[in-house]
Copies of this chain bind each other. A is one copy, B any other.
């Protein structure tokens, strides 16, 4: 195995792949990155028990020669050392396997000898089942992930709620996350000739969102009973699925609204953020909302020993009952408002202790729910 490679390109690919590699893997080979050098491209792979990532580097990228293969072959090198080394090298990198997994890395006047592992010791990734797949632009996928991911449960007692449920029907894909006290649901229109429903861990989607953040590609999602694969031209992410049936969340949405108000998203977010000053010291993180004179909403929070904060904001529009006073978890409300890109939001309050419904104005594809809490 011997090749010369562009530093920037190699560093980026190693950084992407090493994101999922644990430095504390029980088997040392699993703390490594597998490098496979073929005659016309190089493949880097890294994995943990739930996620595997593969990055392909071709010979030519954006009209520049980035890879020169001198001899094909493969090896596994420590992810931690490899990523630290390549970052600190001054220029293009020449890598050669001398003998049994002893690898030399050279750049200008610098020589590094690194002991590797045989690539045969590294687990093989499953073949991709090509039969069931859909495609979605990476920027849309990123938006959908970011608008739902935060609402998952952190409590491992119901593992299925720690993941995001993805349901594919003939005309849309929908992502749902809930921890029983709040819920985020995002739909996206597309055409599919098959139906699927499964739950994927928040961690896998978080890694995926980091990888697709800065580039716009078409991502193809391949479905199989046991795992899911997200694939673009040069990147493949395999993720295991969370077992167990996801609860039916449609019954959680209140049928009738007693009061509906329209607010400016950013201004309301800033108000809740200020109210969090005291809410965070209080055991329930509560913030209180109250309609005043049909035209204003009063946001307040208090902590008896320290003080209280209150402010009023104009209501843009109001329908229904104008006498309203409720308490919510301030952090849930902050997360919900942060995820909304639209300028205005609609809050719908159902009677008594029912959840409130938060929707961006002019975007029916995104709905969130937050349970009320008892005021202290």
A binding-site residues for B, Cβ under 8 Å = 78, 81, 84-85, 88-90, 108-115, 270-271, 273-274, 277, 305-313
Closest B-chain residue to A107, C-beta based? B311
How far apart are the CA atoms of A78 and B270 in the complex, in Å?
22
Taking A112-B307, A115-B306 as contacts, is the C-beta distance between A88 and B270 under 8 angstroms?
Answer: yes
* Closest B residue by C-beta to A88: B274
Choose one: B109, B271, B305, B313; the contact of A311 (CB below 8 Å).
B109
Which 3 pairs between the two chains have the least Cβ-Cβ distance? A110-B311, A114-B307, A112-B309
Residues of chain B within 8 A of A81, CB atoms compared: 277, 306-307
Q: Is the CB of B273 within 8 A of A88?
A: yes
CA distance A14 to B273 in the complex (A): 20
Q: What separation, in Å, do the CA atoms of A270 and B81 have in the docked complex?
A: 17
- Contact partner, A306, options B110, B114, B309, Cβ 8 Å: B114
Cα A81 to Cα B301 with chains together (Å): 14
Instruction: Let me know if A113 and B307 touch, CB within 8 A.
Output: yes
A89 to B274, CA, bound (A): 8
Question: Which residue on B lies nearest to A271, using beta carbons?
Answer: B110
Neighbour of A312 across the interface among B78, B109, B308, B313, CB < 8 A: B109
A243→B36 CA distance, assembly (Å)? 62
Q: Which residue of B lies closest to A296 (CB)?
A: B109
Question: A313 contacts which chain B residues (CB < 8 A)?
Answer: 109
Check B306 against A111 for contact (C-beta < 8 Å). no
A277, B88: Cβ atoms closer than 8 Å: yes
**Chain B residue at minimal CB-CB distance from A277:** B84
Partner of A111, one of B84, B111, B310: B310
User: In the complex the two chains form, what is the Cα distance from A273 to B277 in whole Å?
Assistant: 43
Complex CA distance for A90 and B267, rounded to whole angstroms: 10
CA of A114 to CA of B310, assembled, Å: 12
19 A-B pairs besides A110-B309, A112-B277 with CB distance below 8 A are A81-B307, A84-B277, A85-B277, A85-B309, A88-B270, A88-B273, A88-B274, A88-B277, A108-B311, A109-B311, A110-B274, A110-B311, A111-B310, A112-B308, A112-B309, A113-B308, A114-B306, A115-B305, A115-B306
A376 → B minimal CB distance (Å): 17
CA distance A78 to B278 in the complex (A): 12
Smallest beta-carbon distance A257→chain B, Å: 26
Give the distance to chain B from A370, nearest Cβ to Cβ, in Å: 22
Pairs across A and B, CB under 8 Å, 9 listed: A85-B274, A88-B273, A109-B312, A110-B274, A111-B311, A112-B277, A115-B305, A115-B306, A115-B307
Query: Given the complex, which residues of B lie within 8 Å of A307, measured CB to CB?
Result: 81, 112-115
Report B-chain residues with C-beta under 8 Å of the C-beta of A270.
88, 90
Complex: A305 Cα to B102 Cα, angstroms: 11
A88 neighbours in B (Cβ, 8 Å): 270, 273-274, 277
Inside 8 A of A110's CB, which chain B residues have their CB? 271, 274, 309-311
Min CB distance, A10 to chain B, in Å? Answer: 16
| Residues of chain B within 8 A of A84, CB atoms compared | 277
The CA of A113 and the CA of B302, in the complex, are separated in Å by: 9
